[in-house]
């Protein structure tokens, strides 16, 4: 089987997901998008209103900022990255997903990562940080790199701020830029 076939099978399994209460607040399940052979996967929180309507992750204001960051680092969203979320469905009023909702989507996220098989996974914000490490506190954890031999994960994992956080708190931008430069450096090694 090919990665594309595996991805279609996984999407078919989750297309009508009923595993958590988010099934009631979504218009659609918003699957990951990008290059299925990407060496870097970006993981956000959950779809917002724009993503729920448009069917792709990171197409709202935070997505516009993410695109600018990628362009500044000479990364192309379609060709260099795979972008997904911790949860596939939009929480009502764009609230943070609960631990139960994150847990309900965890198996899908693990399978998605196995299919893509990246070199680097970027956790953008507290929700993906919690899903992967069981910890919160992105401000304290951001900028850290976890190598495969240091954790139970087969990828290099990097934590940084969610692009939406940068829209609301400009003071985080210098630290976030350092993070993204380090992430880009991982790809060039």
- For the record, the structure tokens of 1 come out as 């089987």
Domain count, the chain: 1
Q: Are 49 and 7 in contact (CB under 8 A)?
A: no
pLDDT per residue as tens digits for the range 135-147: 889 999 998 777 7
Residue 189 has pLDDT above 70, yes or no: no
- pLDDT recorded at residue 7: 97
Q: Are 66 and 44 in contact (CB under 8 A)?
A: no
Distance of CA 176 to the CA centre of its chain: 16
- pLDDT recorded at residue 150: 66
Quote the domain boundaries for residue 176. 3-188
Per-residue pLDDT averaged across 4-13, rounded?
Answer: 97
Residue 88: CATH number of its domain? 3.40.470.10
- For the record, the structure tokens of 107 come out as 């198996």
Percent of all residues in the chain with a pLDDT value above 70, rounded to a whole number: 97
pLDDT per residue as tens digits for the range 36-56: 999 999 999 999 999 999 999
Q: Are 68 and 62 in contact (CB under 8 A)?
A: no
Distances 179 to 8, 117, 173 between C-alpha atoms, Å: 32, 22, 10
Per-residue pLDDT averaged across 112-130, rounded?
Answer: 95
């Amino acid at each position: 089987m090919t990665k594309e076939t595996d991805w279609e099978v996984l999407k078919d399994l989750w297309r009508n997901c009923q595993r958590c209460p988010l099934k009631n607040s979504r218009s659609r399940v918003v699957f990951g998008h990008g290059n299925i052979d990407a060496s870097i996967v970006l993981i956000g929180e959950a779809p917002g209103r724009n993503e729920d309507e448009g069917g792709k992750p990171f197409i709202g204001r935070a997505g516009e900022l993410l695109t600018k960051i990628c362009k500044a680092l000479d990364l192309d969203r379609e060709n260099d990255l795979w972008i997904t979320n911790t949860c596939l469905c939009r929480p009502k009023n764009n609230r943070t997903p609960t631990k139960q909702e994150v847990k309900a989507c965890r198996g899908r996220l693990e399978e998605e990562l196995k299919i893509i098989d990246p070199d680097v996974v970027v956790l953008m914000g507290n929700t993906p940080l919690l899903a992967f490490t069981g910890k919160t506190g992105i401000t304290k954890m951001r900028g850290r790199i976890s190598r495969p031999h240091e954790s139970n994960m087969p990828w290099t994992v990097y934590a940084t701020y969610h692009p939406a956080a940068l829209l609301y708190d400009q003071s985080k931008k210098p630290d976030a830029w350092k993070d993204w430069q380090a992430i880009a450096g991982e790809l060039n090694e």
